Amino acid sequence: MTTIERTKPELADDRFVGLAARIGAVAAEHAAEHDRDATFVTEAYAAMREHGYLALAVPEELGGLGATIRQVCFAQAELARHDGATALAVAMHQYLALMQVYRRRTGAPDAEAVLRRIADEGLVIATSGGSDWLWPTTTAVPTTEGFVVSGRKAFCSQSPGATVIATCAVLGEPGVDAEVLHFSVPLSAPGVRVVETWDTLGMRGTASHDVVLEDVLVPAGKITGRRPYGEFGGPLMAAVVHFAPVVGATYHGIAAGARDAAVAAVSGGPVPISRLPSVHRQVGLMDAKLRCSWWALLGAIDELGDDYPANPAAANTVMLAKRQLVTSAIEVVDVAMEVLGGRSFYRRYPLERAYRDVRAGTYHPFTPEATLYFAGKLALGDPGVTE
């Protein structure tokens, strides 16, 4: 029985976890190849399209599977047990789909159409959120038809498999008094191109390439949000509230998979190493860290409730949970490698890849240290929307 199964309450629908496991089995077959070559996880995405996983969060009445944030997190954790890169790549789409569900609930007129397109057309949304999110260098120049946008975005995960990118640009010159526009553009639009830059330590199968925008026309009606330059509010706040749980669950799943691989490796044989007290303690330590961090996620989701806002308090709740998930995941993978010993250095074992993949968790906004800084600011009365 896996860690995720042991911590799974009845509210986490088995069909979503089972669906993630089926897709994960496909991803695992090709994970080593994509990691070696830094190529996109195309087979897993084909399986997602076939089984409707990309519409996981779309409400059933709009043609999707109707998973809640909680259920998406369980599914993502299961998928990551099989391949972290596949799970992280699609996490970017899943959190943006959840964000559209939130926007629909709060009255955004365009949100329902986006959700229907995900279900009916297979729309896949990428994001440049980790690139220049508070202070974009991409510029927007007003025209009679809307805005002409130019710039370069990094860390655009799943860009080879996406159809649109959700991004932002500064109106005029970047600076204190400037305004930031939020919008989406098709990756097939004139002036948009993907530049293959992704050659990294870990998460190599996410294909998080750069996206270049050269004089791309964005109609005025496609602007979905505005905010002051450098302000953490509006669209960014809504994004973070949905991003943190889904991505945190993904890193938890990587660690759970590493734990299971280590336990399986030392449990066989006539006199298994697992009888050694030190290994007993290490396995117990992994389970303790996994369960406590998962409880942190479930507690954060429960604290949000069903009718949650996208405000600094909600962002703080889920970011603290993500911090716990990420830091614990790194510790668990390290212990799993200690349990397995020198064999864990071989690339034929999944722990070597997990060791590299799980460390990417510290670089997503907010970083673990920035999370503490933000929590402290709120506790001391800061509104939490400025730099």
The pLDDT tens digits of the residues spanning 357-375 come to 999 999 999 999 999 999 9
Residue 249 has a pLDDT of 98
pLDDT of 246 over the 60 cut? yes
d(CA 176, CA 179) in angstroms, rounded, equals: 9
Which residues belong to CATH 2.40.110.10 in the chain? 126-228
Domain 235-379 class, CATH top level: mainly alpha
User: What H or E segment, with its residue span, contains residue 310?
Assistant: none
- In the structure, what pLDDT confidence band is assigned to residue 387 with cuts at 50, 70 and 90? low
The CATH label, of 3.40.30.10, 3.40.50.300, 2.40.110.10, 3.40.50.2300, for the domain at 126-228 is 2.40.110.10
- In the structure, what pLDDT confidence band is assigned to residue 292 with cuts at 50, 70 and 90? very high
Residue 277 has a pLDDT of 86
Contact 157, 190 (CB under 8 A): no
Q: Percentage of the chain surpassing pLDDT 70?
A: 95
d(CA 42, CA 158) in angstroms, rounded, equals: 10
Residue 236 has a pLDDT of 92
- The rounded mean pLDDT for the chain is 93
Least confident span in 4-8, 39-43, 257-261: 4-8
Contact 126, 165 (CB under 8 A): yes
- In the structure, what pLDDT confidence band is assigned to residue 165 with cuts at 50, 70 and 90? very high
Residue 130 has a pLDDT of 75
- In the structure, what pLDDT confidence band is assigned to residue 99 with cuts at 50, 70 and 90? very high
Give me the CATH code for the 3-124 domain, please: 1.10.540.10
pLDDT of 386 over the 80 cut? no
All residues at 6 or more sequence positions from 110 whose CB lies less than 8 Å from its CB, including other chains = 103, 224
- In the structure, what pLDDT confidence band is assigned to residue 10 with cuts at 50, 70 and 90? very low
Give the pTM. Answer: 0.95
Query: Residue-wise over 313-332: b if at least 16 C-beta within 10 A, else e?
Result: ebbbbbbbbbbbbbbbbbbb
For range 52-56, the mean pLDDT:
98
For range 107-116, the mean pLDDT:
97
Residue 87 has a pLDDT of 98
User: CA distances (Å), 215 to each of 127, 149, 166, 218, in order?
Assistant: 19, 5, 17, 9
Greater pLDDT, 277 or 42:
42
Least confident span in 145-154, 189-198, 227-236, 266-275: 266-275
Residue 176 has a pLDDT of 84
Return phi, psi of residue 136, to 5°.
-65, 140
User: What does the pLDDT look like over 185-233, one tens digit per residue?
Assistant: 999 999 999 999 999 999 999 999 999 999 999 999 999 999 999 999 8
Give me the helix-helix angle, 312-340 and 350-358, nearest 10°: 150
Query: Which of the residue ranges 9-23, 129-143, 241-255 has the most confident prediction, judged by mean pLDDT?
Result: 241-255
pLDDT of 1 over the 60 cut? no
Which residues belong to CATH 1.10.540.10 in the chain? 3-124
- If you write DSSP's letter for every residue of 63-124 in order, what string do you get? TS----HHHHHHHHHHHHHH-HHHHHHHHHHHHHHHHHHHHHHTT-TTHHHHHHHHHHH---
What is the four-CA torsion angle of 165, 316, 356, 39, rounded to 10 degrees?
-10
pLDDT of 9 over the 50 cut? no
pLDDT of 13 over the 80 cut? no
Residue 260 has a pLDDT of 97
Q: Which amino acid is at 20?
A: A
For range 48-77, the mean pLDDT:
98
d(CA 255, CA 360) in angstroms, rounded, equals: 13
Alpha-carbon radius of gyration of the chain: 21
Which residues belong to CATH 1.20.140.10 in the chain? 235-379
